[in-house]
Amino acid sequence: MKVIRAKSAGFCWGVERAIQVAREEACGGERRVYTDGPLIHNKQMMDALSREDIREVGDYQSKQDLSLPQEEEKDSVVVVRAHGISPQRRKYLKELGLPFRDGTCPDVGIIAGKVKLHAQKGYDIVIFGDREHPEVIGLLGYADGRGHVIANEADLESLPSFEGGVAMVSQSTMFTHEFQNLSGILAERYPDLLVFDTICGATKERQSDLVSLVELGAEAIVVIGGRHSANTKKLAKLAAANDRPAFHVETAHDLDAESFSSFSLVGVTAGASTPEFIIRSVCERLESF
């Protein structure tokens, strides 16, 4: 079987930065690093980082109180993951009394800044995204009670009537065409709507590259990434929207030859939290079929 790989498959710069921050603090295992929830949405990479004493604590949404050992056998530090956190969560983490490093993706930080600034000015903030995703949960914390999350037109129709200014942003990993559609509908209702396209460049590039795989003749698309990864799930959905069978896998072990017996050319892409060693092993397994 022939395999063609998307150019953008693999870590985005925000994920690379978060990993670099954690590894700098771990100093090769000399210090223990606690990450508030998974640093990135990839179990295999988190397992690899654990060998450097980088430990995931808390929960996926960064809501639970952290239970940390009272007495540490070596120095420890708390690192914020790439998805960012709310200001309330930040205050809580800093009050734990451990050194604190912020691994928030700068692109997510820009979105948070826009939300905070316009909420302070009295705007209601509409966030296009998944209300259960940690990035959106964090962004809502900057909206000072003026945040409203929508994922589709039904959610948009359920919004309350706004009397003042309205600003709209997006979770960084959403579909561009869906954001444009919803912001256009909302602008008809509020002509002075401020629209900030905050979908990150890496997300747009991955979506464009997947379409290129289809145009190059890929008969099926394999999307590699964690089950929780929003951008990975979006890629699988986009493959299906382009009339191609989509296989969302975490590792090469999730592949079986029978499922690919009718294909001669398969496209491979990966979410922003997928390490190179997993992408390479998936491609090698597919080529062996």
How many angstroms separate the Cα of 40 from the Cα of each of 92, 150, 191, 289? 21, 24, 38, 31
Summarised one tens digit per residue, pLDDT across range 108-122 is 999 999 999 999 999
- Cα–chain center distance at 123: 26
Q: What mean pLDDT value characterizes the chain?
A: 93
Distance from C-alpha of 113 to C-alpha of 121, rounded to nearest angstrom: 12
24, 135, 153, 178: the active-site residue: 135
Is position 178 annotated as part of the catalytic site?
Answer: no
Summarised one tens digit per residue, pLDDT across range 252-283 is 999 999 999 999 999 999 998 899 999 999 99
Question: What phi and psi values does residue 221 have, to the nearest 5 degrees?
Answer: -125, 125
Q: Label residue 153 by pLDDT band (50, 70, 90).
A: very high
Summarised one tens digit per residue, pLDDT across range 204-222 is 999 999 999 999 999 999 9
Summarised one tens digit per residue, pLDDT across range 4-39 is 999 999 888 999 999 999 999 999 889 999 999 888
Q: Label residue 71 by pLDDT band (50, 70, 90).
A: low
CATH 3.40.718.10 for domain 107-195, yes or no, is no
As a whole number, mean pLDDT of residues 58-83 equals 84
As a whole number, mean pLDDT of residues 38-54 equals 87
Residues of the chain with CATH 3.40.50.11270: 13-104
Domain 2-10+201-288, second-level architecture: 3-Layer(aba) Sandwich (3.40)
CATH classification code of 13-104? 3.40.50.11270
Residues 6+ away with beta carbon under 8 Å from 76: 31, 32, 33, 34, 68, 98, 99
Nearest CA among 82, 91, 145, 75 for reference residue 116: 145
Question: What phi and psi values does residue 3 have, to the nearest 5 degrees?
Answer: -125, 130
Three-class SS string for the chain? CEEEECCCCCCCHHHHHHHHHHHHHHHHHCCEEEEECCCCCCHHHHHHHHCCCEEEECCCCCCCCCCCCCCCCCCEEEEECCCCCCHHHHHHHHCCCCCEEECCCHHHHHHHHHHHHHHHCCCEEEEECCCCCHHHHHHHHCCCCCEEEECCHHHHHCCCCCCCCEEEEECCCCCHHHHHHHHHHHHHHCCCCEECCCCCHHHHHHHHHHHHHHHCCCCEEEEECCCCCHHHHHHHHHHHHCCCCEEEECCHHHCCHHHHCCCCEEEEEECCCCCHHHHHHHHHHHHHC
Residues of the chain with CATH 3.40.1010.20: 2-10+201-288, 107-195
Max distance between CA atoms of the chain, in angstroms, equals: 61
How many angstroms separate the Cα of 209 from the Cα of each of 111, 185, 279? 24, 28, 16
